[in-house]
Structure 1
Amino acid sequence: MRRLILAIFCTILFNNVFAQRHQRLTQNWEFLKGDLGGIYEAIRPVKAGNPESVPVWDKVVLPHCFNAKDAVDPDLNYYQGPGWYRTQLTISNPYKDGRTLLHFEGAGQKTKVYIYDVKVAEHVGGYDEWTADITDAVAAFRKNPLFEKQFKGKIPVEIRCDNSRDLEMIPSDLSDFNVYGGLYRYLNLSYVPQVSAEKVFASASVDVKGVLGQLKISSRLLNPDGVDTVLVKIQLKDPQGKVVSSWQKELKAFHGQKELWETSLKNPKLWSVENPNLYTVETSIISKGNTAVHQEKIGFRNFEFVKKGPFMLDGKRLLLRGTHRHEDHAGVAAAMTEDQIREEMILMKNMGVNFIRLGHYQQSRIVLELCDSLGILVWEEIPWCRGGLGGDLYKNQARRMLTNMVEQHYNHPSIIIWGIGNENDWPGDFSEFDQHKIREFMKELNDLSHCLDPSRKTAIRRCDFCKDIVDVYSPSIWAGWYRGIYTEYAEVSKQEFDKVDHFLHVEWGGDSHAGRHSENPDNALSLVKTGIGADERAGDASLFGGSARVSKDGDWSESYMVNLIDWHLKEQENMPWLTGAAYWPFKDFSTPVRPDNPVPYMNQKGVIERDFTKKEAYYVFQSYWTKAPMIHIYGHSWPTRWGGATERKMIKVYANLDEVELFLNGKSLGKKKRNSQDFPAAGLRWMSTFNEGQNTIKAVGKKDGQVYTDEITQGYQTAKWDKPARMVLEKVSEKDGVALIRVKVLDKNNILCLDATNYVSFGLTGDGTLIDDMGTARGSRKVQLGNGCAEISININKGKSVASVKADGLESVFVEIKN
Structure 2
Amino acid sequence: MRWTFTFLTAALLLFQCKTFAQRVASPEEVTVSLDGDWLFCIDSLDAGAPARWFATTLPAQISRTVKVPHTWNVDPGTEEYYGTAWYQREIDIPQETKGKTVRLKFNAVYRDAVIYLNGQQIAKHYGSGYTAFYADASKAARKGKNLLTVSVNNQFSTSALPYGKSFDWANDGGITRSVSLHISNPSGIDYILADARPVPGTKAGQLRVQTVLLDRKSQKPLRTRVSVTDAAQQTVFTQTQNGTPQNGKLTTTVQIPEVQRWHFDHPNLYQVRVEVMDKNTVIATKTVPVGFRSIEARNGKIFLNGEPVRLSAVEWMPGSHPDYGMAEPAAILYGNLEHLKKLNAVFTRFHWQQDETLLDWCDRNGLLVQEEIPLWGGATVLDSIKSVAMMQADEMVLHHFNHPSVIAWGVGNEHSGQYQPTHDYVKHMYGYIKAMDSSRLVNYVSNTIQYNPKLDATVFGDVIMWNEYFETWFGGKMTDAPAMLDSIHKYHPEKPIVVSEYGLCEPAFSGGDPRRIAHMISHTALYETRPFVAGAIYFSLNDYRTFIGEEGTGKRRQRVHGMISLDGELKPSYHMLKNLFSPIIVTSMQSSPDRENISVTVTIPGGMPAYTLKGYTARVSSASDAGEMLRLPIMEPGKQYKFTLKNQDGENRQVVFSRPGGYAVISVPVNR
* Alignment TM class, shorter chain as reference: 0.7 to 0.9
Distance 1:248 1:93 in 2: 32
Task: Tell whether 2:122 aligns with 1:120.
Answer: yes
Task: Tell whether 2:33 aligns with 1:41.
Answer: no
1:220 matched residue in structure 2: 212
**134, 137, 142: which one aligns with 2:140:** 137
Task: Tell whether 2:52 aligns with 1:56.
Answer: no
Distance 1:626 1:397 in 2: 40
Indicate conservation of the 8 Å contact 2:295/2:304, yes or no. Answer: yes
Distance 2:388 2:437 in 1: 19
Secondary structure at the counterpart of residue 562 of structure 1: helix
**263, 266, 277: which one aligns with 1:275:** 266
Indicate conservation of the 8 Å contact 2:97/2:141, yes or no. Answer: no
TM-score by length of 1: 0.63
Q: 1:402, CA displacement in angstroms?
A: 1.0
Q: 1:84, CA displacement in angstroms?
A: 0.6
Q: 1:622, CA displacement in angstroms?
A: 2.0
Task: Tell whether 2:435 aligns with 1:451.
Answer: yes
Distance 2:653 2:52 in 1: 63
Task: Tell whether 2:275 aligns with 1:284.
Answer: yes
1:356 matched residue in structure 2: 348
Change (3 A) 1:362 1:590: same
Indicate conservation of the 8 Å contact 2:154/2:172, yes or no. Answer: yes
Q: 1:349, CA displacement in angstroms?
A: 1.0
Amino acid across the alignment from 1:41: W
Change (3 A) 1:226 1:272: closer
Distance 2:42 2:160 in 1: 22
Q: 1:178, CA displacement in angstroms?
A: 2.4
Change (3 A) 1:45 1:384: closer
Larger relative contact order (Cα-Cα within 8 Å, sequence gap ≥ 6): 2
Amino acid across the alignment from 2:162: P
**235, 253, 261: which one aligns with 2:227:** 235
Indicate conservation of the 8 Å contact 2:313/2:346, yes or no. Answer: yes
Indicate conservation of the 8 Å contact 1:355/1:377, yes or no. Answer: yes
For residues 633-661 of structure 1, the C-alpha deviation after alignment (integer angstroms, 9 at most, x for no partner) is xxxxxxxxxxxxxxxxxxxxxx9685699
1:372 matched residue in structure 2: 363
Secondary structure at the counterpart of residue 336 of structure 2: helix
1:23 matched residue in structure 2: 32
1:406 matched residue in structure 2: 397
For residues 424-450 of structure 1, the C-alpha deviation after alignment (integer angstroms, 9 at most, x for no partner) is 118xxxxxxx93233222221111011
Task: Tell whether 2:313 aligns with 1:304.
Answer: no
Aligned residues: 565
Amino acid across the alignment from 1:411: N
Task: Tell whether 2:559 aligns with 1:603.
Answer: yes
Q: 1:27, CA displacement in angstroms?
A: 1.7
Indicate conservation of the 8 Å contact 1:504/1:581, yes or no. Answer: yes
Task: Tell whether 2:422 aligns with 1:438.
Answer: yes
Computed over aligned residues only, the root mean square deviation of the Cα atoms, in angstroms, reads: 3.5
**55, 74, 91: which one aligns with 2:93:** 91
Indicate conservation of the 8 Å contact 2:104/2:134, yes or no. Answer: yes
For residues 111-163 of structure 1, the C-alpha deviation after alignment (integer angstroms, 9 at most, x for no partner) is 11001211001112111111012121013xx6xxxxxxxxxx41100001111
Distance 1:568 1:246 in 2: 50
For residues 279-338 of structure 1, the C-alpha deviation after alignment (integer angstroms, 9 at most, x for no partner) is 111112346966433121111123332323x32222323221111233312211100112
Change (3 A) 1:250 1:305: closer
Q: 1:481, CA displacement in angstroms?
A: 2.5
Distance 2:129 2:37 in 1: 23
Change (3 A) 1:399 1:61: same
Distance 1:94 1:563 in 2: 65
Q: Identical aligned pairs, as a percentage?
A: 21
Distance 1:392 1:443 in 2: 13
Query: How do residues 103-118 of structure 1 correspond to structure 2 at under 5 angstroms?
Result: 103-118=105-120
Distance 2:323 2:587 in 1: 38
2:312 matched residue in structure 1: 321
2:547 matched residue in structure 1: 592
Secondary structure at the counterpart of residue 317 of structure 1: strand
Distance 2:235 2:382 in 1: 50
Indicate conservation of the 8 Å contact 1:32/1:57, yes or no. Answer: yes
Distance 2:506 2:422 in 1: 35
1:705 matched residue in structure 2: 647
Distance 2:230 2:402 in 1: 16
Task: Tell whether 2:292 aligns with 1:337.
Answer: no
Distance 2:54 2:386 in 1: 33
Q: 1:31, CA displacement in angstroms?
A: 0.9
Indicate conservation of the 8 Å contact 1:221/1:254, yes or no. Answer: no
Distance 1:128 1:708 in 2: 51
Change (3 A) 1:439 1:577: closer
Distance 2:337 2:292 in 1: 22
Indicate conservation of the 8 Å contact 1:209/1:315, yes or no. Answer: no
Indicate conservation of the 8 Å contact 1:210/1:270, yes or no. Answer: no
1:504 matched residue in structure 2: 498
TM-score by length of 2: 0.76
Secondary structure at the counterpart of residue 447 of structure 1: helix
For residues 719-750 of structure 1, the C-alpha deviation after alignment (integer angstroms, 9 at most, x for no partner) is xxxxxxxxxxxxxxxxxxxxxxxxxxxxxxxx
User: Unmatched 5+ residue regions in structure 1?
Assistant: 1-17, 47-52, 143-152, 427-433, 514-542, 544-550, 629-654, 662-672, 678-697, 712-819
Amino acid across the alignment from 1:128: T
Amino acid across the alignment from 1:451: A
1:536 matched residue in structure 2: none
Q: 1:210, CA displacement in angstroms?
A: 4.7
Q: 1:168, CA displacement in angstroms?
A: 1.9
Query: How do residues 419-568 of structure 1 correspond to structure 2 at under 5 angstroms?
Result: 419-425=410-416, 435-462=419-446, 463-464=448-449, 465-482=456-473, 483-486=475-478, 489-500=481-492, 501-511=495-505, 543=508, 551=509, 554-555=510-511, 557-568=512-523
Change (3 A) 1:224 1:262: closer
1:8 matched residue in structure 2: none
